[in-house]
Amino acid sequence: MSERFNPTSQAITAIAPSNIAFIKYWGKRDVEKQWPANDSVSMTLSESKTITTARRNLTPFDSFQMNGMTVTSKDLPEHKVFRHLNRVRDRLKLSGHLDLKSSNTFPMGCGIASSASGFAALTLASVAILTDAQSWEDLAAHGTNRETLADVARLGSGSACRSFFGGFTHWSAGATADMQKITQDFTPQHWNLADIIVVLSAEEKLVSSSQAHLAAWGSPLYPARLAGLDHRLKLVQRAIKSRDLEALGHELESDAIEMHSVAMTGSPQVNYFSPATTKFLAWVRTQRNLGQLPAWFTIDAGPNVHLICDAQQAEKIATLVKNAWSEARVITDGVGEGPRFFRGEMEKDHV
């Protein structure tokens, strides 16, 4: 889709991609410091994005507009966007208040990682306008390079840090909370994969991932999951390196099922699957065994399913899904670049 910009000197627009985890971040060692219990690996997406425009607000308050609703920090100081803006300003020693306007290119709050692209775009747009940056070089000159921004975005939503890099990204938990690292393992050009997102339900989930991360520690399955993840990390990194889709697919299905088993047996128990999710997963495996569907599933914190496949097979697979699941919305996504920002604002709400 074409992008039309209206360059105004007062606004900065950031466009940040979502990402899909092949090894899920699930559970935190330290909530305050956002220290994950395990390393995660993801693919940055090309179509599912958040677009956030920031303008300076000369009052001592911030405002945030999304889906036609506006909230202000005067009325709702505890809103997650305003709490994050305060963190950004505190951490990076920046000052000034903002009017923010956001939109997504995909349905939010149902397992398409809207918080990842949302907090990445929010962090980038806010820091760029508060530092008067026009480019990544300007940002780096202010002491806010890509790694620093990813690290700050992580405080809003852990998975947001991975959206700062294109291609295939690794968020390493490190030996202490301060030793976390976010790195790009491979560029988007390394492997042309697709993510067929099958939206079985666009309803917002009832339990946020923040709540579910805490519940993981109560699951008797959680220690076993954590103990096996170093091995899975090696297998997944090796599969990406050698572009071995079958090996990757095997690990990504196991990882998703494991994460959801931990959620379902946690304390409290959290169930993101809908009856349609279970039916759909069984259908995928049957079709694959019949040689019809060379794709492997993964599922974030919601009822919807991501099918990872070779980009050359994407159209065929999307058509198969649409024919068999006429009530589902099917979004074809692929491997993408990291975020970008511009001076000005989009003429249309969506890219």
Residue 210 binding ligand PMV, by CB under 6 A: yes
Largest distance between two CA atoms of the chain: 63
Distance of CA 107 to the CA centre of its chain: 13
* Residues 180, 170 contacting (CB under 8 angstroms): no
The Cβ of residue 223 has, within 10 Å, a number of other Cβ atoms equal to 11
Q: Enumerate residues 274-303 that contact ligand PMV by CB under 6 A.
A: 300-301
| Window contacting ligand PMV (CB under 6 A); options: 18-26, 173-181, 229-237, 275-283 | 18-26
Binding flags for ligand PMV, 159-198, as an x/- string (CB under 6 A):
x---------------------------------------
Q: Determine the 3-state secondary structure of 322 from DSSP.
A: helix
Look up residue 335 and give its DSSP letter.
B
Q: Enumerate residues 89-148 that contact ligand PMV by CB under 6 A.
A: 113, 115
Closest distance of CB 256 from ligand PMV, Å: 9
Closest distance of CB 27 from ligand PMV, Å: 10
In total, the chain counts a number of residues equal to 351
Residue placing its CB nearer to ligand PMV in the complex, 19 or 144 = 19
Helix (H) or strand (E) holding 334: strand 329-334
Residue placing its CB nearer to ligand PMV in the complex, 13 or 34 = 34
Residue placing its CB nearer to ligand PMV in the complex, 249 or 345 = 249
Distance of CA 275 to the CA centre of its chain: 24
Residue 158 binding ligand PMV, by CB under 6 A: yes
Number of shown-chain residues binding ligand PMV (CB under 6 A):
13
Residue 219 binding ligand PMV, by CB under 6 A: no
What distance in Å separates the CA atoms of residue 35 and residue 27, rounded to the nearest whole number? Answer: 9
What distance in Å separates the CA atoms of residue 247 and residue 309, rounded to the nearest whole number? Answer: 12
Closest distance of CB 42 from ligand PMV, Å: 6
For residue 71, the cross-strand partners are 64
Select the residue interacting with ligand PMV from 11, 21, 121, 130 (CB under 6 A).
Answer: 21
In the 3-class helix/strand/coil scheme, how is 251-287 assigned residue by residue? HHHHHHHHHHHHHHCCCCCCCCCCHHHHHHHHHHHHH
Binding site for ligand PMV (CB under 6 A): 21, 24-25, 40, 113, 115, 157-159, 209-210, 300-301
